[in-house]
Structure 1
Amino acid sequence: MALKNVIGIDHAVIMVKDLDQAAANYKRLGFTVSPRGTHSAHMGSGNYTIMFDPDYMELLGVLTPTEHNAPARAYLDTRGEGIERVAFTAVDSAEGAEEIRARGYPPVGPTDFERPVTMPNGTISAAKFRTFEWPRAETPGGIRIFACQHKTRETVWIPELMQHANGAKRLKQVVIVSPEPAKDAAHLSKMTDRDVRNEADGAVAVPSGGDRADFVFLTRDQLGKRYPGVSLAGLPERGGAGLVIAADVAAAEKALGTTGVHSAGGIVVPPAAGNGTLLAFVKA
């Protein structure tokens, strides 16, 4: 039975080495990027968000090394930039943590934190969250998963930040490469109580819940066949590889210019141009 307090994908976290440079890059790709957020001294990190409806992307960088961000630093050292973790939306993080505990996954948290937010009128407010993680050793396809309860949605989903020159509307898929897609998909399926779905090209999807984006596991070779003509340079053999984004494809083509590659009926940004993340813009 599916988890009651954990619904579909909330946001995908792209770990980057230079936070401000990454934000500038995503602005060049036609995204509206939030003002920079700074997390607590304990967390030692900062972020920029790229807001859609009902989900979003997060660019995350380490500002000061701390014990809390040691896994993120290790990821950057071994993998480089890319999708390091994915969040689900938590209805109630405390109850969600107990749900996964009952299924044999001792949770990390729940943890409350907040970051200051500059609102469109120039005032300073706060975005407040309560999160919990599945055990950090459980990494299906090489990604960590956690759940995020938004206590102040109005300071995160700000209408002015949800309009993008590249026509991006929402996430459709989180793409994960793996030498053993079926094995990694089954791992995630067990962790989240969601059934797998086999796709025609041998990829294996795990729906995240509701109408939210799917996780899709496939080999690098299968990914290359899905997006012919797109260089996969910089992607690992196993790990977060890309995001499929529902968008106005004509707007994406215009905004991306020569960076975008026509492939599979959409416009694709190669990983090398997306901070280690393939970005496929497809018809909304």
Structure 2
Amino acid sequence: MTLKNIIGIDHAVISVKDLDAAAAVWKKLGFTLSPRGTHSAKMGSGNYTIMLGPDYVELLGVISDTEHNAPMRKFLAERGEGVERVAFTAVDSAAGAEEITARGYQALGPTDFERPVTLPNGTVSAAKFRVFHWPIEEAPGGLRIFACQHYTRETVWIPELMQHANTAKRMKQVLIVTDAPEQDAAHMVKLIDGTARKESDGAVTVPPGGDRADFVFMTRDVLAKRFPGTSLDGAPARGGVGLVFIAGDLDAAEKAVGSAGAKTDVGVVVPPANANGTLVAFVKA
């Protein structure tokens, strides 16, 4: 990747209809969740985060309808719950917005926002961010992308929140299902000035840099072959469909997910219907 102001995947956003119900689902999969956060009135959203090593997962829900969250509401109405967008880590969001605008993509932002954070000792601090988005219509395989600059990493990556019963350490892959994996991967490559690698089964991998999780574009048939025996009910026809995590102990992951998933030759896999429209897989490094 030659974009100077982004370094790999920062976090994946799973948009959900009922934020607290979704939090209960992911807790039952063995994840430790942050206390519920509330964004500004302008954003009209709230979240829970699942903090990992270099990255994290955000469960995001609408609290009140606003212009800012209209795209998410449209996503939920048309597709249902699931991986709606992915953020890159921004070195400098203002410079990053200028960089992609210079390449022909009118950036949305940069925008500053914050949310209160209750720390383990009971005190309240704030998590502060500056983000910019690629244009909404520029969504490779139906997956929106943006970049997030963290001003207060110490109030987001809290050690106590990074320990999970399922032993998840970091994301390895973000899976996107599409009828045109090569075309959609090429779209992502163009947006981030990256590279693509075609796999033997027809999937196309786009590494986003920074030794972070890869994007993997594939057809539904390839997805089914990669996760044999896993029901794809609840998976979209096109869009972000799954997250693959590196786990420290697959036996612990199997125990943590319980009846929601199963141990297979691939690893421990939870079907989309049991994780808010998201296939969740735990694999060894």
- Shorter-chain TM-score bucket reads over 0.9
Q: Which runs of 4+ in 1 moved over 2 A?
A: 262-265
Look up the match of 2:56: 56
1:276 aligned onto 2:265:
no
Q: Which residue of 2 aligns with 1:266?
A: 267
Distance in 2 between the 1:246 and 1:17 partners? Answer: 27
Deviations 1:108-150 (A, max 9, x none): 0000000000000000000000000001110100011000000
Question: Does the 8 A contact of 2:227 with 2:266 survive in 1?
Answer: no
TM-score calculated relative to the size of structure 2: 0.99
Runs of at least 5 residues in structure 2 that lack an aligned partner in the other structure: none
2:172 matches 1:181 = no
**Matched residue, 1:243:** 243
Asked if 1:127 is matched to 2:127, the reply is yes
**Alignment match, 2:147:** 147
CA distance, structure 2, for counterparts of residue 51 and residue 15 of structure 1: 17
Aligned to 2:226: 226
Provide TM-score, normalisation by structure 1.
0.99
Q: Give 2:166's aligned residue.
A: 166
CA distance in 2, matches of 1:262, 1:122: 38
| Distance in 2 of aligned mates of 1:85 and 1:259 | 24
Moved more, 138-147 or 255-264: 255-264
Instruction: Please give the root-mean-square deviation of Cα atoms over the aligned residues, in Å.
Output: 0.7
Q: Could you tell me which amino acid in structure 1 is paired with residue 282 of structure 2?
A: F
- 1:203 equivalent in structure 2: 203
Deviates more, 1:249-258 or 1:220-229: 249-258
Secondary structure of residue in 2 paired with 1:165: coil
- Distance in 2, matches of 1:147 and 1:108, equals 10
Report the counterpart of residue 256 of structure 2 in structure 1.
255
**Superposed counterparts of 1:35-74, under 5 Å:** 35-74=35-74
Cα distance per residue 1:69-128 (max 9 Å; x no partner): 000000000000000000000000001111101111110000000000000000000000
- Structure 1: segments with no counterpart, 5+ residues: none
> Across the two proteins, how many residue pairs are aligned to each other?
284
Partner SS state of residue 83, structure 2: strand
**Offset, 1:235:** 1.0
Task: State the percentage of identical aligned residues.
Answer: 72
Residue 282 of structure 1 deviates from its aligned partner by 0.1
Shift of 1:258: 1.9
| Residue 262 of structure 1: how far off its partner (Å) | 2.3
Partner amino acid, structure 2, of 1:155: T
Q: Quick one: which amino acid aligns to residue 193 of structure 1?
A: D
